[in-house]
Every structure is written in structure tokens, then in C-alpha cells.
Structure 1
Amino acid sequence: MDPWTPMGLIFSSLKKKKQRIYKPWTYSIIIKIFGRKLSHIYLKQRLAAMLKVSEKIILIDLGHNYYIVKFLKEENLHKTLQRGPWFTNSFFLSVKRWHINFVASEAKETKSALWIRLSELSTEFYDHLVLSKIGQKLVKLVKTDVSTSEAL
């Protein structure tokens, strides 16, 4: 489309408007609480204590047990996505990156990260290759937890 035609100018203007309204949410995450509804104030306090990010947490209730946590710094987004799993009061928090046009009432949780504990695993199996093979047999392995990684 020619950018100098009326339609091209309209399209260009719409694209810039969309970029402007999406930009503040770039480093945000969507969380869903599985279990029961928690008060907004309590959840915000728990998230601040758990996530330990370098900025004030902005929490927005989207309904249907979904929330947006808005970060202003990219480092806090990555820190939150890479650590976990996240639980509060024994309730699991599903965490994913924010995406455009998210509607809580229409959202479907099709994938979730799981933490699998291998009780009484012999220490000789605390080997990166062995643990990776075990993890890949169970599910798609994302990472090995910190305490296990330190033993390797």
C-alpha cells in the first residue's frame, strides 16, 4: 500500500496509535490464580514479597481470577518469568507474558509449567545430562531448579 495515499496515511496513523497504546504493557505479565479469589491488597502484598522486583508492583484485576502485573523494567519481567513456580497460600499462579487483546472471560489455559519433585533420587543422578533426559521423558524440560543446579 502506498504510504502517501489516503488509505496509506490512515493505516500508518492506526499503526502508530496501536504502538503507542501497546507500549506501556510491553513488560507486563498476566497471572491466573488457581484455587480461590484473593483480595487485591493481599495479592499485591504477596506478589511484592515473592517476586522481589526492583520497582513498585502495579496490579490490575481483569476478572475471572486473572490479573495483570505491570512492570516498567524489562529485567523484572524476565526475572518473574524465569523464576518460579509461583504459589501463594498453596494456590498455583500461572504466569505468562502479556499479549494484545487478552480477554479474561475468553482465556483458556492450555499449557502450564510444572515443578516435578523426584523424591529420594540418588545423588549420582544429579547430573545435568541425566536430569535433562528424565525431564524430557516426563514433559518438555524448561529448567532445573536452583538448588539442584547448585549440586551439579
Structure 2
Amino acid sequence: MEDDDDQRLDDEEEAPGEASEESDFCPVLHFTDEEYREMCRPWKKALVLTLPGKKTLRYRKVRHNLTQLWYDTEFKFSDIPNYYYVVRFEQDSYRDKVLMEGPWFLMRHYLVQRRWIPNFIPDANDIPLKMIVWVRGPNLPKKYNNRLFLWRLGNKIGTSLRVDMNTPVQGQGDKSRAERGRFARVTVEVDLRRKLKRRFISRNEVLSVEYEGLELVCFQCGYYGYKKEVCPHRCNQASPTRDATTEVSGKPQSQGKKTEKR
């Protein structure tokens, strides 16, 4: 199922249509589809990072903190405009580790991640339009604790990237098995311009999910960027607005709480 992620990126790597007319003022650069894909290939598995509300950090400071945070992961780090950063991993397993073990916090700020895509343009908004989140269902019936269900659940929220199942722990002599006390999760890339859903129905059962680490998720209207207490919909406004200077922050809590950091 994770291969669908690669296929979507392949589709997004199609060379954009070229201008039909060329002028001396604005010449056109021509590339074949294969040449365009080859230019994109080194960045295909990269992640784009930013820290909303934290615009004073220097490049070296962010890189140093990431190196400590992902101490057993090898990656290449570069900065791009508007306080965005791009991370390329030496191995796919390192990228999977980052996707599986989040959410991540840098100096008590939520580290926003999203997949790199060929036409990504770093915008100047304080709140990104897309980001990767970790979703879990703490009260899901055991029958739904499987990859197929979680993958489809994630696709109802956004774009499923990875499913993180409970890890079996071998007992003494390998004669017994136990599951670690944590919930299965799905890593999803969401569009923050759309509502973040928290309830679903499966075979007439109402199921609830939680978004790990998101301190500013308003489930009054489902949008991200403010708390329920200041939701514009409480004033019966037609559409939600966001404060571009809202600071998204949080810190890891102990195991088992909503914003757990493992």
C-alpha cells in the first residue's frame, strides 16, 4: 500500500505543459519527460520541514537540533526561502523512521513536515497548506487493528503514507508474545484547507480518532490554526479565517497521553 505514495509522486512529476509561443522576452526551456523526471529523482523521497511561529531560528541551529533529534539517521539538510527546509535521507529506512515515529518537536515547537513535490513553492504564510500528521484510534475494536483498515481510514482523512502497527515483543525463550502498550497509527498527509475529521462510520459503528501533537485543532469546525474557544463558527460566520501569526507549539507528554512523543 505504501507503494501508492511513490505512484502519486510519479504522476506529479509529469512535465508541465510548455508555452506554445516563444518570445525573445521570455524564452522557453525545453525538456523531455524523461529528462524532467531525472531532475526530480534525487528529491523524490525528500521531506519539506518548517516551524510555524518560529521564524527567528538560524539554519545551523535547526540543523544541529535535527541531528540530535534524529541521532541515528543520516540525512542531507538544506534551507529554502520563507523558513522552509528540505531533508534528503541516505536510505529509505531513515525516511520511514521519521514518518513512523513522529510527531516531532523542535524546541517545544511542532515540526511540520510534508512530502516534497516537483512544483512545491514555499509560501510566506505562517501556517502551511499541507502537513504530515499521525492519527490513531485509541478505542477502535480489535478487528480494525490491521493495515487495510488503517490505510483506508487515513485516505478518508488525507493521503495515507505509512501504517505503524503494534510491535510484538518476544517473551523469554520465544514461547510467549505480547504487544507493546501503544495504539496502531497511520501517518497521513492532510490538506489544512479542509476539515480534519474525527469521527467515521464503519458497518454502522461510529469510530473516533485522535491527531497526535496537534495543539491547535478546532473540532468545532474541524479546521487547524486555532482552538475551539476562538472558533469563528461560534459567531456563525460563513467561513473560517486563520490568524497567520498563530504560533503552533507543543511539547511531548508522557506515554499514553494525546500528544505522546515516543
TM-score bracket, normalised by the shorter chain, equals: 0.5 to 0.7
AA of the residue aligned to 1:109: L
SS of the equivalent of 1:48 reads: helix
Q: For the residues of structure 2 that align with 1:43 and 1:28, how far apart are their CA atoms? A: 17
Q: Does residue 48 of the first structure (1) align with residue 64 of the second (2)? A: no
Q: Which residue of 1 aligns with 2:89?
A: 71
2:208 counterpart of 1:137:
yes
Whole-angstrom distance in 1 between the partners of 2:209 and 2:135: 11
- Among residues 125, 129, 133, which one is paired with 1:109 in the alignment? 129
Contact map agreement 2:89 2:95 (CA 8 A) in 1: yes
Q: Within 5 Å, which residues of 2 pair with 1:79-118? A: 79-105=97-123, 108-110=128-130, 113=133
- Give the CA deviation at 1:68: 0.5
Report the TM-score when normalising by structure 2: 0.39
What residue in structure 1 maps to residue 176 of structure 2?
A: none
**Alignment deviations for residues 10-51 of structure 1 (CA, whole Å, 9 cap, x no partner):** xxx611111211111122101111221211111111111112
User: Structure 2, unaligned stretches of length 5 or more?
Assistant: 1-30, 143-182, 185-197, 200-206, 213-254, 257-262
1:63 and 1:53, CA in 2 relative to 1: closer, same or farther beyond 3 A?
Answer: farther
Q: Do the aligned partners of 1:35 and 1:92 also contact (CA within 8 Å) in 2?
A: no
Letter of the structure 2 residue corresponding to residue 41 of structure 1: R
Q: Is the 8 A contact 1:30 1:95 kept in 2?
A: yes
Please give the root-mean-square deviation of Cα atoms over the aligned residues, in Å.
3.5
Once residues 54 and 138 of structure 1 are traced to their aligned partners in structure 2, the CA distance between those partners, rounded to angstroms, is 30
Q: Is the 8 A contact 2:48 2:113 kept in 1?
A: yes
The DSSP-based 3-state class of the residue aligned with 2:32 is: helix
TM-score (norm 1): 0.63
The list of structure 1 runs, each at least 4 consecutive aligned residues, that deviate by more than 6 angstroms after superposition, is none
Q: Give the gaps of 5 or more residues in structure 1.
A: 1-12, 117-125, 142-146
Q: Which structure is higher in helix share?
A: 1
Which structure carries more relative contact order (alpha carbon 8 Å, separation 6+)?
A: 1
Q: Which structure's residues are more often strand, by fraction?
A: 2
Q: Determine if contact 2:48/2:87 at 8 Å carries over to the other structure.
A: yes
Q: Aligned partners of 1:49, 1:15: CA distance in 2, in Å? A: 39
* SS of residue paired to 2:53: coil
Q: Percent identity?
A: 19
| Number of residue pairs aligned between Structure 1 and Structure 2 | 122
CA contact (8 A) 1:81 1:95 kept: no
Are 1:29 and 2:100 an aligned pair? no
